[in-house]
Amino acid sequence: MSALVLDGLTKRYGSTVAVHGASLRIPHGQFVCLLGPSGCGKTTLLRMIAGLEEPSGGRLLIDDRDITDTPAHTREFGMVFQSLALFPHLTAGENIAYPLRIRGVSRADQRRRAEELLELVRLPGVADRPVSKLSGGQRQRVAIARALALSPKLFLLDEPLSALDAKLREAMQIELKQLQRRLGITTIVVTHDQREAMTMADLVVVMSQGRIHQAASPMEVYRQPADAFVADFIGLTNLLDGQVVQPGTVQVPGGALSLPNLPPSGRVLLSIRPEEVIVHPTSGDGSNGSLNRLPGTLSFMRDLGSSVEFRIDVAGKEIIALSRPQDRPPVEPGGALSVELPPGSCVVLPPMVAS
Ligand code: ATP
């Protein structure tokens, strides 16, 4: 099966390394999101894939063919930029037909294809409207239709939805995903919005400081983050420093935990999602000796409607727990309680290194 392969792609701007040895295999038909904070190198990586930026090192292959030096205009990729880059004085149909026009396609065929594409992006009947008279969401669809006009091998989008308001943005995420499914075209989208990435992607590529930290399914980056950066960047998590004191036992603030998958010795970092932490009202002497329970004090609690959030002080370390309202334990701020960290919910990570 054909695939896009990034083999150690690197981009330097003087002393800045914008992308550092990015390696990735993207199977045909995947929806990929490049996700990370501002300045992590997402756009630079996308532009290298598009051929708009020359790599300082590494290779790019499609279907085993090296295209590192292939000019952008002959790569047959479709691209949508954040700015959309539509021609404001042209109609929607003329914008979409533009790539066909410059390739000498007949007027009748241009018109037919533009109408077909408008149908595809669920915008029929606007071919003759100037793009300046269209809404933000409609312009977005015109830009997508134009990028698809030449049936590209690869569809690349740089923050395509960032100018839209939250509600429209969410609707467009679902629509873009459905469109990609229908067309089966390999698609790579740059976003800094993790919810957007989780909604659309088959493969989430989490980047920071020019490096790919993890490339995996949305479920996997959430449940099995590769390192502390991914655990902390994707959703909310509790990170606990630990010291392995004997095989299978790690000392953390407030007590010892019994866990599988621990290294034989040394320091580790544990990641546990707030919804996995179980809050127990402590009975009697404040310690019931149960496995993987740490005693603490409730410092803050808030009702979020669909869940209740607890902030618990455990030996000076704050642990966040989320409960379903119906499971809410009878505890009040200032009260003693214990938190249970189930072994299967604790992800063991390498210790954080100071950068
Ligand atoms: P954002 O989400 O803010 O767009 P990004 O993750 O897409 O950020 P890039 O735009 O790829 O990040 O930038 C990565 C790094 O490379 C940044 O430090 C940026 O300042 C630098 N950089 C990008 N383009 C250039 C350029 N043309 N010249 C010099 N430095 C650049």
Task: With respect to residue 353, please indicate whether it lies within any of the assigned structural domains.
Answer: no
Give which of 237, 160, 226 is closest to 196, Cα–Cα: 160
**CA nearest to 118, candidates 95, 100, 101:** 95
* CA–CA dist 144, 139 (Å, integer): 9
Average pLDDT, the chain: 91
- The verdict on 113 and 211 lying in the same domain is yes
Using the predicted structure, report yes or no on whether residue 327 has a pLDDT greater than 70: yes
pTM for the whole thing? 0.89
- Of all protein residues, the one whose alpha carbon is nearest to atom 16 of ligand 1 is 18
Statement to judge: residues 252 and 298 lie in one domain = yes
* Cβ count near 327 (within 10 Å): 10
Rg of the chain over Cα atoms, rounded to whole angstroms, equals 25
In a domain, 16, yes or no: yes
Instruction: Find the mean pLDDT for residues 129-135.
Output: 90
Task: Report CA(36)–ligand 1 centroid distance (Å).
Answer: 12
Question: Which pLDDT does position 160 carry in this prediction?
Answer: 86
CATH code, domain with 268: 2.40.50.100
Specify the pLDDT at position 354.
60
Residue numbers of the domain that contains 60:
3-232
**pLDDT (average), residues 104-116:** 89
DSSP string, 12-43: EETTEEEEEEEEEEEETT-EEEEE-STTSSHH
- Most trustworthy range by pLDDT among 86-90, 133-137, 229-233: 229-233
Q: Cα(112) to centroid of ligand 1, in Å?
A: 39
pLDDT at 272: 96
Summarised one tens digit per residue, pLDDT across range 36-52 is 999 999 999 999 999 99
pLDDT at 283 over 60: no
Report the C-alpha gap between 13 and 210 in whole angstroms. Answer: 12
224 and 244 in a common domain: no
* pLDDT at residue 290, rounded to an integer: 61
Q: Where residue 344 falls among pLDDT bands split at 50, 70, 90?
A: very high
Q: Are residues 207 and 258 in the same domain?
A: no
- Domain shared by 157 and 257, yes or no: no
62 with 87, same domain: the answer is yes
Residues 68 and 213 in one domain: yes
- Number of domains comprising the chain: 2
The closest-lying atom of ligand 1 relative to the alpha carbon of residue 34 is 6
Instruction: Indicate if 271 and 181 belong to the same structural domain.
Output: no
Domain boundary among the residues 205, 232, 259 is at: 232
Q: How far, in Å, is the centroid of ligand 1 from the Cα of 45?
A: 10
Task: Give the model's confidence band at 346: pLDDT under 50 very low, under 70 low, under 90 confident, else very high.
Answer: very high
Are residues 230 and 206 in contact, defined by beta-carbon separation less than 8 angstroms? yes
Taking the alpha carbons of 311, 271, 338, 277 in that order, is the dihedral positive or negative?
positive
User: Which protein residues touch ligand 1 with a CB less than 6 Å away?
Assistant: 13, 16, 18, 36, 38-44, 192
**205 or 325, which is more confident:** 205
Is 355 part of any domain?
A: no
Query: Cα(44) to centroid of ligand 1, in Å?
Result: 6
pLDDT of residue 167: 86
Q: Ligand 1: which atom is nearest the Cα of residue 207?
A: 6
pLDDT at 286 over 60: no
82 and 161 inside one domain: yes
Q: What is the pLDDT of residue 161?
A: 86
Report pLDDT for 2: 57
Q: Are 222 and 248 contained in the same domain?
A: no
| Last-in-domain residue among 232, 264, 290 | 232
Are residues 267 and 284 located together in one domain of the fold? yes
Based on the domain organization, do 201 and 302 belong to the same domain?
A: no
Ranges 21-35, 79-93, 144-158, most confident:
21-35
- pLDDT over 90 at 10, yes or no: yes
DSSP 8-state code for residue 79: E
Tell me the CATH number at 130. 3.40.50.300
Of 256 and 328, the structure prediction assigns the larger pLDDT to: 256
Q: What is the mean pLDDT of residues 151-163?
A: 89
Q: Tell me how many degrees the CA angle 55-60-66 measures, rounded to the nearest 5.
A: 115
> What's the 39 CA to ligand 1 centre distance in angstroms?
5
Average pLDDT over residues 114-140: 88
φ, ψ of residue 283 to 5 degrees: the values are -105, 155
Question: Which of 183, 213, 232 represents a domain boundary (last residue)?
Answer: 232
